[in-house]
Amino acid sequence: MAITLATVVTTGCWTHPVWAAGPAASTVRHIQWAELVPKGWDPYKDSRMKFKDLNLGMLQDSDPKVMEMMNQMREVWDTAPVNDNMQGVVGRLPGYIVPLEESAKGLKEFLLVPYYGACIHSPPPPANQIVHVRLKQPIKGYKSMDTVWVYGAIQVQRDPSYMGNSGYRIDATAVERYVAPPAQVASTPSKP
């Protein structure tokens, strides 16, 4: 299913993170995507983004009003403020891979994003929801939109790329496949 501008604007799909799981969460700090967004930041309160007066559900993506809104949205999202308190925070962050630099040796750089299709099937998220991941050694066996855990220290650093502008960088110490937690089974008390 393609995500249209109207869907992004009305649902705010960029805020839906990959959820944490697994036993390692107790030994390594799990960084939440919401922590990367400064408290109180609301991109829709920005004076450049005046969507409330338009009926987005009735507009086509090619409509000039939609194109103007898309340009306004990109300007606000590409310059989205970051949370300076995240500088140097060490932990792990889950997300989806958007490859940037890949060779026969493997994946060397990628963007980490919080939802499936970001930067590929839909507009890039705000800069404060994109992390530029760099690896010392290329890794093999990963492809676009694979879900992973990235381990390392967060750096507050803006990096523009052809796939989206990131507000953070992690020089990864490790990357591993994301595994969903086992389903929680409700237990019922046994009767004596």
With a cut of 80, say whether residue 85 has pLDDT above it.
yes
Kindly state the average pLDDT of the residues 107-134: 91
Q: Which amino acid is at 146?
A: D
Phi, psi of 111, rounded to the nearest 5 degrees: -95, 140
Write out the two tokens for 185. Answer: 């089974």
pLDDT in tens, 11-57: 333 333 333 333 344 578 999 999 999 999 988 776 555 555 666 66
Q: Is the pLDDT of residue 86 over 60?
A: yes
CB 118 within 8 A of CB 70: no
Instruction: Using a pLDDT cut of 90, give the percent of the chain over it.
Output: 55
Q: Give pTM, 2 decimals.
A: 0.76
Domain 5-177: which CATH number of 3.50.50.60, 2.40.30.10, 2.40.50.870, 3.90.245.10 = 2.40.50.870
Q: Quote the mean pLDDT of the chain.
A: 80
Instruction: Report the distance separating Cα 114 and Cα 34, nearest Å.
Output: 10
Amino acid identity, position 134: R
User: How many Å apart are CA 89 and CA 148, to the nearest integer?
Assistant: 18
Per-residue pLDDT tens digits for 143-175: 999 999 999 999 999 999 999 999 999 999 999
Position 111 confidence tier, pLDDT thresholds 50, 70, 90: very high
User: How many other CB atoms are found less than 10 A from the CB of residue 25?
Assistant: 15
The dihedral formed by the CA atoms of 81, 82, 83 and 86, expressed in degrees to the nearest 10: -170
Q: How far apart (Å, rounded) are the C-alpha atoms in residues 119 and 126? A: 10
Apex CA 186: angle with CA 182 and CA 188, to 5°? Answer: 145
